[in-house]
Amino acid sequence: MPVRVQTEDFDVSAEIARLRAGEPKIGAVASFVGVVRDLNDGSNVSQMTLEHYPGMTEKALERIVTEAKQRWDIFDVLVVHRVGPLAPTDQIVLVAVTSAHRGEAFAACEFVMDYLKTQAPFWKKERTGAGSRWVEARDSDDAAAQRWRQ
Amino acid sequence: MDQSEVLKGVAAATFSVKVMFFARLREALGCAGETVFLPTGRPTVEVLRDQLRSRGGPWDTELAPARAVRIAVNQDMATLQTVLKPGDEVAFFPPVTGG
Is A110 within a domain? Answer: yes
Q: How far is CA B29 from CA A53, B57, B80, B82, in A?
A: 17, 9, 20, 23
Residues of A in contact with B76 (CB under 8 A): 56, 59
Would you say B91 and B77 are in contact if contact means Cβ atoms under 8 Å apart?
no
Task: Look up the domain containing A122 and give its range.
Answer: 3-141
Is A124 within a domain? Answer: yes
Looking at residue A43, what is its pLDDT?
83
User: What percent of chain A is modeled with pLDDT above 90?
Assistant: 87
Is A82 within a domain? Answer: yes
Q: How far is CA B68 from CA A56, B7, B25, B85, in A?
A: 19, 39, 11, 25
CA angle A56, A105, A68 (to 5 degrees): 35
Mean per-residue pLDDT, A103-109? 98
Looking at residue B39, what is its pLDDT?
94
8 Å CB contact of A136 and B75: no
Supply the pTM of this predicted model. Answer: 0.91
Domains and CATH numbers, chain B: 13-93 (3.10.20.30)
Closest listed residue to residue B91, CA positions, set B16, B44, B22: B22
Domain CATH for A127: 3.90.1170.40
Q: How many domains is chain A partitioned into structurally?
A: 1
pLDDT 10s digit of each residue in chain B, 99 long? 455 555 555 556 899 999 999 999 999 999 999 999 999 999 999 999 999 999 999 999 999 999 999 999 999 999 999 999 999 999 999 999 999
Interface of B with A in 36-65 (CB under 8 A): none
Mean per-residue pLDDT, A27-45? 93
CA angle A18, A23, A27 (to 5 degrees): 100
The residue in chain A having the minimum alpha-carbon distance to the alpha carbon of residue B76 is: A56
Looking at residue B5, what is its pLDDT?
56
Would you say A140 and A118 are in contact if contact means Cβ atoms under 8 Å apart?
no
8 Å CB contact of A55 and B75: yes
Is A31 within a domain? Answer: yes
Given the DSSP bridges, would you call strands A84-86 and B76-78 parallel, antiparallel or unpaired?
unpaired
Of B20, B24, B99, Cβ closest to residue A117: B99
Model ipTM?
A: 0.90
Cα(A40)–Cα(A92) distance, integer angstroms: 15
Of A56, A92, A134, Cβ closest to residue B75: A56
Would you say A58 and A82 are in contact if contact means Cβ atoms under 8 Å apart?
no
CA distance to partner chain B, nearest, from residue A24 (Å):
30
Mean per-residue pLDDT, A112-138? 95
Give the bridge partners for B78, in sequence order.
Answer: B71
Residues of A in contact with B32 (CB under 8 A): none
Residues of A in contact with B24 (CB under 8 A): 123, 134
What angle, rounded to 10 degrees, do the helices at A102-119 and A56-71 form? 150
Is A86 within a domain? Answer: yes
